[in-house]
């Protein structure tokens, strides 16, 4: 069974191969499906490959072979995630939008993929507002996000590997200026450093805790840390 977008892409690729003998480019696929990002096409192709509908031809750029076609009525309506999507088990109901934070996308329940703004690689010394690239977005399954505004953020580094968050992962963040104790959050430190860490509170102190024994937990005063969102899921691309 295929999702609607997977089926549309399979039909488009097959038609182009039949007409020209040449596989369409990612840009052509993106435009044909009305997507904003080529990363969405990459995930659709990987899904088709995992389900045995297409095969990537080795040592040839953008070369795909159609192995079989789906029935025209095939459309997956289950809540099952694509293999590349890792749903976060972070219980964090939306608690408002942080003042001054870059705006994400308000998510409503639907069966279509949701395009979220994709910010750059989270890095020390870079406020979250400066990371946004208006040209980039990422398509995610609607059941990966709940109510409220969301955005995506590319992870840099290995400070959270023991929590299953790897370098190059795309973190799905729900905007909010508060978070439960123990939640993994996007935190703005001293107004100029953004980091993805686990939040711990003790008295008036705030600890930003890594998930890697090679890094130290950092302790801050209550006015030094501003929560800009809570991690609710991850997208990982396998090459």
Residue 157 gets the label, from left (phi > 0), alpha (psi -120 to 50) or beta, of left
Which one of 110, 159, 205, 226 is the catalytic residue? Answer: 159
Burial code (b: 16+ CB inside 10 Å, e: under 16) for 133-168 equals: eeebbbbbbebbbeebbbbbbbbebebbbebebeee
Count how many residues are written for the chain.
239
Query: CA 192 to CA 233: how far, in whole Å?
Result: 25
Query: CA 36 to CA 39: how far, in whole Å?
Result: 9
> How does DSSP assign 23-70, residue by residue?
PPPHHHHHHHHT-S-HHHHHHHHHHHHHTTSEEEPTTSTT-EEE----
Query: CA 213 to CA 17: how far, in whole Å?
Result: 51
Query: CA 59 to CA 50: how far, in whole Å?
Result: 19
Which one of 103, 197, 204, 205 is the catalytic residue? Answer: 197
Across-strand partners of 115? 139
Q: Are strands 114-121 and 149-154 parallel, antiparallel or unpaired?
A: parallel
39 is catalytic: no
137 is catalytic: no
Query: CA 48 to CA 1: how far, in whole Å?
Result: 10
Q: Would you name the residues annotated as active-site residues?
A: 159, 197
């Amino acid at each position: 069974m295929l999702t609607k977008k997977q089926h549309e892409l399979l039909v488009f690729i097959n038609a182009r191969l039949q007409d020209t003998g040449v596989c369409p480019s990612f840009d052509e696929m993106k435009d044909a499906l009305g997507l904003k990002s080529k990363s969405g096409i990459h995930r659709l192709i990987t899904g088709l490959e995992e389900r045995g509908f297409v095969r990537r031809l080795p040592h040839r750029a953008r070369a795909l072979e159609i192995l079989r076609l789906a029935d025209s009525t095939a459309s997956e309506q289950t809540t099952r995630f694509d293999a590349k999507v890792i749903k976060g088990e972070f219980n964090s109901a939306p608690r408002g939008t942080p003042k001054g934070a870059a705006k994400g996308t308000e998510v409503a329940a639907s069966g279509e993929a949701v395009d979220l703004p994709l910010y750059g690689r989270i890095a020390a010394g870079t406020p979250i507002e400066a990371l946004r690239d208006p040209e980039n977005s990422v398509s995610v399954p609607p059941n990966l996000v709940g109510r409220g505004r969301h955005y995506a953020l590319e992870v840099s580094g290995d400070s959270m590997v023991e929590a299953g968050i790897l370098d190059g992962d795309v973190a799905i963040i729900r905007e909010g200026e508060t978070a439960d104790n123990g939640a993994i959050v996007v935190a703005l430190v001293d107004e100029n450093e953004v980091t993805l860490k686990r939040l711990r509170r003790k008295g008036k102190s705030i600890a930003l805790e890594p998930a890697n024994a090679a890094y130290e937990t950092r302790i801050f005063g209550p006015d030094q840390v501003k929560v800009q969102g809570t991690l609710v899921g991850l997208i990982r691309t396998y090459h």
